[in-house]
Amino acid sequence: MNVLGIETSCDETAAAVVRDDRTVLSNVVLSQLDEHRPYGGVVPEIAARAHLVHLDGIVGQALEQAGLGFDDLDGIVATAGPGLIGGVMIGATMGKSLALARGLPFVAVNHLEGHALTARLTNDVPFPFLLLLVSGGHCQLLAVDDVGRYEKLGGTIDDAVGEAFDKTAKLLGLGYPGGPAVEQAAQSATDPDRFALPRPLNGRPGCDFSFAGLKTAVRQAADKLPVSEDGILAAGDRADLAAAFQNAVADVIADRTRNAIATFREGRGQAGTLVVAGGVAANKKLRATLETLADGADMPFVAPPISLCTDNAAMIAWAGLERLRRGVRDGFDFKPRPRWPL
């Protein structure tokens, strides 16, 4: 079974072909970063226009790199939400049109389900598993019992963790996108412990997250530091503050995930696997922290390769494939959904 996936829910125009034996035959991702960078964030109208211009060519490239034509496909899958509605409409319409024209089944995939099932594309992870989904727009702990069967154990009550990284980067003058910039700055830190940042909700019961207070604490710490004439922090201060922030985030996530492991076990009577997904899963400090946590809980830990953690279409193709082989099909009247909880 070969499936073409399309992903256009944010600022990556992506198409990929995945086979049911878990081979990624192609995975083409065109980032629109350069177009959004001057604005310090993703501009929805610019994103939609760029998807419209590039998607056709990206789909062609994905098929070419896979060495396949439309006749070799068994289904077409597109992200149908949640996300920026302009982009989602473009991707979903492209998917439906191709499926209609070629007489292929169409599957509308929830972007979050794409992230959630990535670990089953890269590793042999059985259901149920415990998922930490951390991206620019989402921050959740979920029990994944089967395809389409998710129980939310906790979520953020304010910012998503990727958002916190992005805002902190902006505050420190580290540019956009923030996550990789904060991680890189943190690498040259010499004394991250000189900033005592809070660990919101740590030690409290439950699996919810909060990052707004942490971001404010970074701002207050930064405000006390000397800046150059054009308002820029010294590189050393910036590095220490970035590392202090990253350590606080890792502590918070470890504390919340520890509670989720207990809840997951209680409810399911088995250890399961700890899986991390979403763009923030690219963060090495976070990966190491989760690995230690899983080790301590005697639980296997799976973190997909970074190229499959950030937005891509291989994860969408795979989620669609998991649905297709269970006999799921969606109609051409499926409406794109800007909001769509799992």
Least CB distance to Zn ion at residue 107 (A): 18
CA distances from 9 to 90, 183, 189, 338 (A): 9, 25, 35, 9
- The footprint of Zn ion (CB under 5 A) covers 135, 311
Q: Which string of DSSP letters, residue by residue, matches 182-231?
A: HHHHHHT-S-GGGS----TTTTSSSS-B--HHHHHHHHHHHHTS-B-TTS
Site string for ligand KG4, 237-276 (x = CB under 6 A): ----------------------------------------
CA distance 180 to 335: 34
Nearer to ligand KG4, 137 or 300 (CB): 137
Q: Does 40 bind ligand KG4 (CB under 6 A)?
A: no
Least CB distance to ligand KG4 at residue 180 (A): 5
Helix axes 178-187, 161-171, angle to 10 degrees: 70
Q: Does 178 bind ligand KG4 (CB under 6 A)?
A: yes
Say which residues have a Cβ less than 8 Å from residue 305's Cβ, sequence separation at least 6: 122
Name the token pair of 185.
């700055």
The separation between CA 286 and the C-alpha centre of its own chain, rounded to angstroms, equals 14
Stretch that binds ligand KG4, among 52-60, 135-143, 187-195, 329-337 (CB under 6 A): 135-143
Least CB distance to ligand KG4 at residue 178 (A): 5
Q: How many residues interact with ligand KG4 (rule CB under 6 A)?
A: 19
Which of 106, 129, 150, 165 touches ligand KG4 (CB under 6 A)? 165
Q: Does 179 bind ligand KG4 (CB under 6 A)?
A: yes
Name the token pair of 311.
């937005």
Which of 7, 113, 159, 166 touches ligand KG4 (CB under 6 A)? 166
Which of 41, 137, 213, 300 touches ligand KG4 (CB under 6 A)? 137
Closest CA to 258 of 243, 244, 274: 274
DSSP 271: -
Which of 5, 128, 180, 200 touches ligand KG4 (CB under 6 A)? 180
Nearer to ligand KG4, 165 or 264 (CB): 165
DSSP-based three-state secondary structure for 40: coil
Residue tagged 């292929």 (tokens): 104
Which of 128, 192, 279, 320 touches ligand KG4 (CB under 6 A)? 279
Least CB distance to Zn ion at residue 277 (A): 9
Q: Residue by residue, what is the 3-state secondary structure of 86-151? A: HHHHHHHHHHHHHHHHHCCCEEEEEHHHHHHHHHHHHCCCCCCEEEEEECCCCEEEEEEEECCEEE
Q: Does 87 bind ligand KG4 (CB under 6 A)?
A: no
Residue tagged 């412990």 (tokens): 193
Amino acid found at 226? P
Q: Does 135 bind ligand KG4 (CB under 6 A)?
A: yes
Q: Which does 75 bind (CB under 5 to 8 A by kind): ligand KG4, Zn ion, none?
A: none
Nearer to ligand KG4, 55 or 73 (CB): 55
Q: Does 154 bind ligand KG4 (CB under 6 A)?
A: no
- Binding positions for ligand KG4, rule: CB under 6 A: 10, 135-137, 162, 165-166, 177-180, 183, 278-280, 282-283, 310-311
